[in-house]
Each structure stands twice: as C-alpha cells, then as structure tokens.
Structure 1
Amino acid sequence: MVDCRAVSTPPSDPGRTSHDLPRDHLVPVRRSGDRATSDCAAGDRTANDRTANDSGRSATCDARSSTDADALDHLLLALDAAQVGVWEWDIVDATLRWDRRTGELHGIELDSFGGTLEAFLALVHPDDVPNLQARIATALATGGFILEEYRVIRPDGSPVWLQWRGRAITDTSGQIVRIAGVCADTTELRSGREQAGRAMQHVSDGVAVYDCGGRFVFVNAVASRLFGRDPSELIGMPMWEVYPEVVGSAFEQLYLRALRTQVPAETEGYYGPLAGCFEIRLFPAPDGMTVYFRNVDERRRAEAQRAELITSLSSALDRARKLFDVTAALGQALTVPDVADVMARSARHDLGADIAAIMLVGEEGRIRMVSPTTQSDRVNHVLERVSGRATAATPEVLRTARARFDASRADYLADYPHVRTLLEVALLAGMAHIPMIISGRPIGVILLGWTTDQTFDADERAFLTTLAGTCAHAIERARLYERQRSVTEALQQAILPRHLPNVAGVELTARYLPAGRDVDVGGDWYDALTLPDGSLMLIVGDVGGHGLRAATVMAELKHAARAYAMLGQTPAAITGQLSASLTASDAEVYATAVVACLNVTNQQLTWSCAGHPPLLLLDGADATFLEEVHGPILGAVDNCAYRQDTVTLPARARLLLYSDGLIERRDTSISERLDFLSAVAAGSHAMGLDAACDRLLAEVAGPSGREDDLCLLAADLLGDQ
C-alpha cells in the first residue's frame, strides 16, 4: 500500500503556482439528472483548500461569478455525457472523493464508498493492484501524471477495464497536496486493443507500441523474443530504462524526430539492444508510437553472398576475357621473342606487374632469358643474374615443376638471401615464378615482379598457371616455326643462284625479299644460265603457298627447268615439261613461271608465260608489258601444249622479270599495281640497273607489310659500247 502521509515531494518550479494548474478538485455544484456533487462538507473542505492554495483569494461558491459556474456546469455535463467520472485525492487528510459517475464505473453506490485509497484499491482486481500502487508512488515522488488501466469486478461478476488518469497538484511551497483526475471505462477500447494485439501476435515482424512517454504499451511475441524479455517485464516500463544504450543513439534521434513531426520513418542497420541488423519502421500517432522490427541478418547475408558471387563471376569473366585476349595475341606470335613481348604486355596491363620475363631451358639444360623488348636492358640484366644462379627460385621451380609465389621481398630472401642487392636494384618486392610445362616436362619459367607487396589469392594463382600453360604451347609452336623457317630459308638460299652469269653485252642483277616476318617462307625463285649456243636463259617462277612444301617443289622445278634448258629445249617446251612434271607428282600445288631465252647476238627474245605476271620491256622512258600468256598455270591441265613468242629488242633495252609478290596488294587492283610498276620503272630508266632495282623494291614493294616473298631479275642490253 501507498502511505500518503510519508510523501516527500520535489520542490516546485519557482515560476509556477497552483493558479497555473487545471481545475484541481471537485466543485460542489449540482448537475442535471440524477448525478450530484459530493456533500456540503466536502464542498466546504474543497473551498477551504482552494482558499489556502490561492493565497487569500475568495474561493466560496457564492463568490464565483455566474459565468464561471455556467462554464463548469457545461464541463461537467460534457464529462457526464462522455461517461467520464471525476475524482480527487486529498493527500493532507488522506481522503479520496468520487463523483457519482466514478462510483457507477466501479460498480458501487457512492454512499457505500469508504473514501480512502485503501477502499479504492479493494475494488481493484488483485493482479492489477501492484502496478497501480507503483504508478501512484511514482506520481507522489515526481509530482507527475498517473495513467494506468486496471480491472474491477462488477457485482454481476463481469470484469470491467477502467483507466485512471490524474495529475499531482502542489501548493505554493511545492508540496503535493492533491491528485485530481478522471476515470473512464476502456473495456471496449481494451477489447479492441487486445483483438489488435492478438492479430499482431501473428505478424512475422516484431511489434512494440509505446505511449507518448516512451513506455511500452504492447509487445507482440516476436518482439518479446527479440527483446529477450516477457511482455509483463516491459509493459509500462520506459524504453530508456529497459535499454539505456538507446539513449543518444541514432534510433532515439529517429524516434524523437518521428514523434515530433508525426511523419513515419524507417531505417536499417545494426541495432545494439537486439544484437543484430534490423529494418525498423516507425509510425507515430498523437498518443504514442508503433515500431516494427524485422531482422534482416539473413537477407544481408544473402545479399553479401550474392554480391560476392557477382564479384566472383565478374572477376572470372574478366580473367576469361584477359586470357582470351592474351591467347589471341599469342596465336599471332611466331617467334619466342614475340611470345615474351605478348606475355610482358599482358602481365603489365592485366596483372599490374612491373617486370616480366621468360626463362627457357636451352641446350644442355642451361637457362637463358628471353628479354621482352619493352623492358629496360638494366632490368633484364638483373633478372638474368637473379635467375641464372644455381640457388634461385627459377632452378627450384624447374626442378619441382611447382609455382612459387612470394608476397614480399622478405619472403623471397628468406630462402635466397644472397640476391638481396639484386632485388633492391630492380626494386622488386612481390614475385611469382610459374613453370611452363609441356607433356609433363618444364620447358621454362615465367617470372613476374612487382615493386609492391602482393596478395596472390587462389583465383589469381589459377589464372597465372593457365597463362603459363598458354605461353608454354605458344613457345613450343614458335620454336617449331623457327626451326622450320630456318630449314626452309636455308633450302631457299641454297636453291637461289649464288652468282649470275657474266655474258658479254648484257648486265644482269637480281633481288629476293622474303615475306613479312609473320608470313612463312614462300616458293619464289629466279635463275639465269648461259646455254651451250651462247644464248642466255632467264627464268622466274612462283610456287603457290609457303613453308617447307613450297620450297621443296620450288627446288624440283628450278632444277628441272635448268636441266631442260641445258638440253636445248625451247621456252615453250620447258614450260610444258614443268607442267607435266608438276601434274605427275601429285603435289597438289600449282606454280607460275616465265621462261625467256635471249639471243644476245641478234637481240631476239623468245619467251613462254605460264600464268605469270607479264615481262616489262623498257626502251628508254617507254615501258611496255609483254602481255601474251601462252598457257595456264603449271600443273593445272594435263598434257598442255604451251606456246611461245619472239620479239626483237631495241638497242640498250631493259628487261624486267618478277614474281607477283612485287605487285600484288589486297587493297589495290592488279591493273593499278602494274601501272604503278610501269611508271616507277620508266622514271628510273636513266639510273644504273642496281639503283633502278633498289628503287623498285623501295617504292613498289614497300619496306614492310608484304604478304608474299618476291624476286626480281633484270637485264640491260648494253649494245655497242
């Protein structure tokens, strides 16, 4: 029970008096109907109290103005119409006064009410008495409000929920002298709230309802589980007392702003009191706040996993794109230095590496470095010294066939401290050594270096290992190509004549240029020989295709043509024999050729053209193509009889025989190219034969980018010297 005689009230606000408070006690006036005020003695007591509180103001009922009385009558009528009772508890004499409506709400006749706090609490359901006592004690201690719901059992046995709402009244000294308030039936409202509460119990979110003071009014089962407390421990308790850590938090700021602005708000983040990530939605109302809590830990984990998966897929796609790009570039690399350059570019652009090199196992097991051309000689030299030592990472990786990844310089020096100076000179920190393996055998090591420490995760290690495998196959292919090209070039150089014949009255010169560096050796050849009758035989041929096969067929045709010429056969007979030989060989290749026999004595030229570009005849600045074609390309038709023509050359004529590599370009028609050749040759007529040939190669063939090899055989008739 609450002892009203032992109440220590806090000092009042110095600037505030009882005159500023609402009406603080019952007034003995008569209402309409059957309700009446308390007895006259109570009215006199009330009047005396008011007189004391108002410090000498006249407070008798008769002294009131008729206007005040009318206003009070209207107020009491309004309260009666709303079925709201009025009560007053006099702290000084421990008297509790009710009006008739308050008695009716509690199910008793007013005359039978004892007029004490104990008599009132005796009417309250026992389960609700402790909470009501606690609220009264708080009001007495703080001088604040009382707001509490409790049950009473009517005489007919039906429970009724009532709401007791009041406020402490102080005198001029700040002492609490009365608590006055109203009482109303909230059974229906409580029933609606309970029905809503039952519905809220099935909501998957946690729901908590607070009053204007931040006290818990309702907590559903989910919220109770989240809070880790039974609803009975929370209802009526201020949020700030239950969870002190809320004070000053972002949630409190959001809560107070929503309460002040009456605008719903929401937030999401880690919520300390609930030890998890929550989506929180706040719905303010004039009498409090409803807050929904939804745990989003699973959703955030799923989002994080999805983001991680997307990042992983994006990273995988990016690595796949990089690998595709480097594979395509390596497919165009024909030599080992080309492979090293491609790998170095990829390492810099795709991996951010500062240096790169390829260490290959050469003959007798010696390690040689293929230095990228895009890297400084100083760095290349340092890398070669580091990797060339017997005790270094490169020999270890070659021996074990396992990649080595050193995240920092210290990691590398832990095993190989003797190369500290070299690493410092090269500014190397993180390093990677990845073996290049073919058929289970390491053929070399890719060395990558960074000037900063690195973290080699599993995906990056897998990417580097795949890159090393791609480079290994590219190097193996480049080595094979280099060997084949070396053999082919040697064969071709052996086939081409070392010296041109020295014939009186004729000056001869020849040129041969291989195709561009990314094109294999072709089958172009030229030959010049003096026949037994003193005539000069000139031959230029072109075997279709490139590589060793083309060079082999070229050698066969070249030697056959020379043999037929030495037997005294005519140009037409020679082209026919060459075609028949090619047809019978099943070589499945074709060739073109022009065979010309020059009689120096009478300056007659007899020639046979088998699908070859036409000879160019220069008479001073006049240029003429000998455009007759005497048969198809060699090997195209069985038993083909080729023809020939004869022309008498002018004195001091210049004759040009050439292969199509001199004139053919994909982006220009053959007729335009022939016209260009004719113009350049005519413009060079006054130049010596060697100088004229050099000019033709420079201007017509061009310095680079040729798709085919070419040969040029030129003859000047000197005439009378």
Structure 2
Amino acid sequence: VSDGVAVYDNEGRFVFVNAVAGRLLGHDPSELLGKPMWDVYPEIIGSAFEKLYLQAQRTQVPVEFEGYYGPLAGYFEIRLFPAPDGMTVYFRNVDDRQRAEAQRAELIRSLSSALDRARKLFDVTAALGQALTVPDVTNAVARSARDDLGADVAAIILVGEEGRLCMVGPTTQSKQVNRVLERISGRAATATSDVLRTAHARFDASRAEYLADYPHVGALLEMAGLGRVAHLPMIISGRPIGVILLGWASEQIFDTDERAFLTTLAGHCAHAIERARLYDRQLSVTEALQQAILPRHLPTVAGVDLTARYLPAGRDVDVGGDWYDALALPDDSLMLIVGDVGGHGLRAATVMAELKHAARAYAMLGQSPAAITGQLSASLTASGSEVYATAVVVCLNVTNQMLTWSCAGHPPPLVLDGASPAFLEEVHGPILGAVDNLVYRQDTMALPPGARLLLYSDGLVERRDTSISDRLDFLSAVAAGANTMGLDAACDRLLDEVAGPSGREDDLCLLAADLLDIR
C-alpha cells in the first residue's frame, strides 16, 4: 500500500513495518522489529499521539487525526485500528497538502483583505465625491480614518501661501492633542516637512522608529499618545499640496498592502482637496459677481414703499441665477423686474448680469414690459448659450396707479388689496430664449390705494415634495395674514414661513411694493 503501515503488539513493540513506513521513519524495517516504539522514539511519551494511541487501545475504537510530528519534522495523517492483541497504524506525510491549504488560506485572507480595503476606499471616495469644501474633505477623511482604519488621530496639513503649513479640519482626539499636532507639524525638522520635500510617504510602526529621526519632538509625540504614525503626501501634478497625518495609539507593522492602500487613499484626498479649492475660488467669484449685480439700494419714489430680499440656496448648492431690479424712470413710473436664469454657478451668474443690464437699458429707452421681455428673449436666443430664463417685468405708474406687466414663464405676481390676495396668473409667453422672434404680450390693471404687490422667484415656493398649487396657496395665505404688517416685517415673515430656514434647493428673490394712499 502507499501508506506507511506499522503493527504493534499490546506492549507497543513493532511486529510488522512495511517499506514505506521504514522510509518515513528513517529506519530499515528489520531494525525496528521487536523494539518498543517508546524506546525508539521517546519523544512520543506525553505527546498527542501517545494519548490517542492509548485511547484507541482502551476503547477499541479506531482513531484518525492529523498533526505535526516533531521527530520526523513533518505533518502526518494517522489512522489507528486497535485489536485485542495490538494496534495497526496507517500513516502518510501530508506536508504538500498542508502547504496547499496554508497557501489557500493565505490567498483567501489576502482576497478578503483586498475586498475590505476596496470597500473602505469606495466608502471614502463616495464621501469625498460629496465634499464641496475643504472642511467637507477633512471631515470625510477624519470619519474614514476613525471608522474604517481605526485611527486615533487624523489631520490634514496643507501648504498655504508662501509655503506655510496649516493644519485644517478636526482630529479624532481632544483639543489638547490638536494643539500638540499643530506644534509638531509646524516645526521645520519633522516628518511632515520631509514628506513634503521628498513627496514620499513615511510609515513609522513605532514611536521609537519615529523618534530615531526626530528626537526633539519626543515629548510632544508622547503627549499625543501615538505609537504608530503614517505621513501621506497629497500630490497634484507632481507637486505636494499637503500631508495626511494618521496616528494610532498602538504599535504595529505597516504591511505592503496597507501602505499601498493608504497611499491610494492620499491620492483620492489630494484630488478632492484640489477640487474643493477650485470650487471655493469659483464660488467666491460667482458670489462677488452676483452681489455686484443685485442693486445695493432701491430707488426712492414718492407714493411707493419698496423692499427686497435675496437668500442663497443651501450650502451644498452653487450660487444660482435669481435677480431683481427696481428702476425709477424719467416719466415718474417705476419699473420692477424679477428674473431667474436656469442653472447654477458662474455661467448662470454671467447670463444673469447680461439680462439685468439689458433690461435696464430697454427700460430707460421707455420700452413697455412686453417689449422688454421680447428683447430679453431675443438676446438670449441670439447668444447661443442654450441657457433659458424666466422673468416678470412690471411697470407701475404711480400717478394713475396703473400696473402693466408681462410674464415670461415666471411665477405669477401676487396683489393684495386689503386682506384679499389675487395672483396675476396671465402668462404672456414662454420662458426667455425658448422661441425665436416671439412677440410677448402684456396686461394692464388699476391698483387701489394701499395695494401691495409681491414679485418673487420660484425658489420661494417650489419644493420637490409638494405641488406648486399647494405652495402658491400657502404663499397667498401667509401674505394675507401679514398684510397688516409693515412691508419689511411682512417680507421677513414670508421668508420665515414660506421659504423656511433650511432645506432650500434654489436661491430666491422677493421684491415687494406698497402703493401708499397719499390722498
């Protein structure tokens, strides 16, 4: 048979040994016959083999097991078959199988680890994809370091103006540790500065390993309670823009896979930081442009009280294209305009500026509301920008209290006469820029003394989870309830109750006018 076979009597003496057993045991079979196994292999005494051998002899039940056998320096599969007059033992070397199983277990462990790291990388990448600002990025990194990596400290050190280092974002430790890390990272001769200079990550598996190169920060590192530290450069176009500092209280070796994972993570963070910085710069330009477009002061016109409000969208939404304007005309009438350019960001703000200045020019030339909406639509179509807008243009003749308006796909103005609200629901043409050479219409009505007029953009009333009809009814009810209030107080109430303090998906404008009874 292919197995080694040995037969023992009740005293444990060799009775039979086949050639395979002799080879595995390292003896000629004839040398073993008649000798007690305990004398030939004294290492057996007290071993698992002896215990199982005696068990099989006592119970007369076969036993099968596998294990490492020191005297023969290998793994063996052993089967014991007891009989009244002795024991027959079959055994074979299974080192190859053990190695294969160990390799398979290592492969499974490696694949499992790779999948776990891939999941962690996916999670942090998804979080970074939602981060718009640098603080958003640092928060995402801190959460990932704590939840996925088990880090006790996570911080981002960025290269600022004139090469100065600045630690941004929270750590997962106390304010004291935060201050300690700032002191460490701010020193010239530290791992942070060296990693920025070399653009190579540094992994210190123990505090002693770190202090071997930077002994002067030993007290600070001990105060931070760190044993294992990783410094990961964030590189954009070959240029380090900062370092991610990760710290653990315990000491542990950084294996090859972990180093590769952390380096990849730093690359994703670098791009997120750069994108956030670009977003901040663009947002600053867009906000400055929008603030420059919105009128700083409303005109003073006898017989009319004016006020306006502008609210940006939620923090996760770009600056939009909502705008308003009020212009006192040479004929003592008042032109009021509220518009909304589709989209967000710099492009929307640029189109908004073009429309606002064009509308002012047309109004100063004495054109009617219908003519102004038509000219704005034609200008937008001719620009080829594929950007659309809505607008409502109102001309209020204060002398005869006549109101003329043209609505281009915009939410309807609201007129309140006493406590009775009414929407001017006539639509005089589609959104601006939708149709070439379209002639818009307009309507005219007389306003009673003391009437109130509200112009607004859709950010005031539109919500995804509510129909626009219900929202307009709500606006009408709140406006009617606030009609006895002063214009400023009424506008504040509309923003509080209709717009709400948070959750807006768009910016909004509100332009309100009270026609005063000066008789």
The TM-score, its normalising length taken from structure 2, stands at: 0.97
Which residues of 2 match residues 446-461 of structure 1 at below 5 A? Answer: 446-461=244-259
Q: Which moved more, 1:639-648 or 1:232-241?
A: 232-241
The alignment partner of 1:351 has SS state of coil
Please state if 1:245 is matched with 2:63. Answer: no
Cα deviation, 1:162-193, whole Å, max 9, x if unaligned, reads xxxxxxxxxxxxxxxxxxxxxxxxxxxxxxxx
* Structure 2 partner of 1:306: 104
How do residues 362-377 of structure 1 correspond to structure 2 at under 5 angstroms? 362-372=160-170, 376-377=174-175
The answer for the alignment partner of 1:183 in structure 2 is none
Q: CA deviation at 1:287?
A: 2.6
CA contact (8 A) 2:137 2:269 kept: yes
Q: How does 1:384-399 map to 2 (within 5 A)?
A: 384-399=182-197
Match of 1:545 in 2: 343
Q: Secondary structure, in 3 states, of the residue corresponding to 2:251?
A: coil
2:176 is matched with which residue?
378
In structure 1, how many angstroms separate the alpha carbons of the residues matched to 2:217 and 2:317?
42
Cα distance change on mapping 1:448 and 1:373 into 2, 3 Å = closer
Contact 1:571–1:606 under 8 Å retained in 2: yes
User: Match of 1:686, SS?
Assistant: coil
Q: Which amino acid aligns with 1:679?
A: A
Q: What amino acid maps onto 1:268 in structure 2? A: E
Task: Indicate whether 1:487 and 2:289 are aligned.
Answer: no
1:592-642 deviation line (CA, Å, top 9, x unaligned): 000001111222111000000111112233221111100000000011010
- Cα deviation, 1:42-73, whole Å, max 9, x if unaligned, reads xxxxxxxxxxxxxxxxxxxxxxxxxxxxxxxx
Contact 1:341 1:374 in 2 (8 A): no
| Paired residues of 1:227 and 1:273 also in contact (CA < 8 A) | no
Q: Does 1:219 align with 2:6?
A: no
8 Å Cα contact 2:152-2:173 kept in structure 1: no
Q: CA deviation at 1:233?
A: 0.9
CA distance in 1, matches of 2:449, 2:310: 27
1:433 to 231, 243, 250: 231
What is the aligned counterpart of 2:356 among 558, 562, 565? 558
Task: Report whether the alignment pairs 1:536 with 2:334.
Answer: yes
The one of 444, 455, 460 equivalent to 1:657 is 455
- Tell me, yes or no, if structure 1 residue 467 matches structure 2 residue 265: yes
Paired residue for 2:385, among 587, 594, 603?
587
Alignment of 1:542-691 (within 5 A): 542-691=340-489
Q: Which residue of 2 aligns with 1:280?
A: 78
Q: In structure 2, what is the equivalent of residue 442 of structure 1?
A: 240
Change in 2 beyond 3 A, CA 1:360/1:713: same
- Aligned counterparts of 2:25 and 2:171: Cα–Cα separation in 1: 69
Residues 82-93 of structure 1 aligned to structure 2 (within 5 Å):
none
Please report how far the alpha carbon of residue 556 of structure 1 lies from its aligned counterpart in structure 2 after TM superposition: 0.4
Using the alignment, how far apart are the partners of 2:461 and 2:373 within structure 1? 23
Match of 2:115 among 309, 313, 317: 317
Counterpart AA for 1:665: R
Residue 41 (structure 2) pairs with residue 254 (structure 1): no
Larger CA Rg, structure 1 vs 2: 1
CA RMSD of aligned residues (A): 1.5
Would you say the 8 A contact 1:371–1:380 is kept in 2?
Answer: no
Q: 1:700 aligns with which of 494, 498, 505?
A: 498
After TM superposition, where is structure 1 displaced by more than 4 Å over at least 4 residues in a row?
A: 373-376
Distance in 2 (CA, whole Å) between partners of 1:245 and 1:674 is 93
Q: Distance in 2 between matches of 1:438 and 1:254?
A: 65
Q: Which amino acid aligns with 1:596?
A: V
Higher RCO, 1 vs 2 (CA within 8 Å, ≥6 residues apart)? 2
Question: Following the alignment from structure 2 to structure 1, what is the Cα–Cα distance between the partners of residues 142 and 154?
Answer: 5
Residues 155 and 171, structure 2, Cα contact 8 Å, conserved in 1? no
SS at match of 1:486: helix
State the alpha-carbon separation in 1 of the partners of residues 9 and 150 from structure 2: 61
Unaligned residue ranges in structure 1 (runs of 5+): 1-202
Deviation at 1:260, TM superposition (A): 2.2
Count the aligned residue pairs: 519
Residues 556-596 of structure 1 show CA distances to partners (whole Å, capped at 9, x for unaligned) of: 00000011001111000000000011111111110000000
Deviation string, structure 1 residues 422-467 (Cα, Å, up to 9, x no partner): 2233223321111111111111111112223232111111111101
Secondary structure at the residue paired with 2:212? Answer: helix
Letter in 1 for 2:104: R
Provide structure 2 residue ranges, at least 5 long, that are not aligned to the other structure: none
Change beyond 3 A, Cα 1:392–1:693: same
1: CA distance, partners of 2:164 / 2:58: 83
Given that residues 7 and 87 in structure 2 are in contact (C-alpha distance below 8 angstroms), is that contact kept between their aligned partners in structure 1? yes
Per-residue deviation at 1:298?
Answer: 1.8
How is 1:123-142 mapped onto 2 (pairs within 5 angstroms)? none
Q: CA deviation at 1:296?
A: 2.0
**CA–CA separation in structure 1 for the residues paired with 2:374 and 2:31:** 115
CA-CA distance at 1:350 after TM superposition: 1.3
2:154–2:172 CA contact under 8 A, matched in 1 = no
Q: 2:93 aligned with 1:295, yes or no?
A: yes
Q: CA deviation at 1:407?
A: 2.0
Q: Give yes or no for the alignment of 1:231 onto 2:231.
A: no
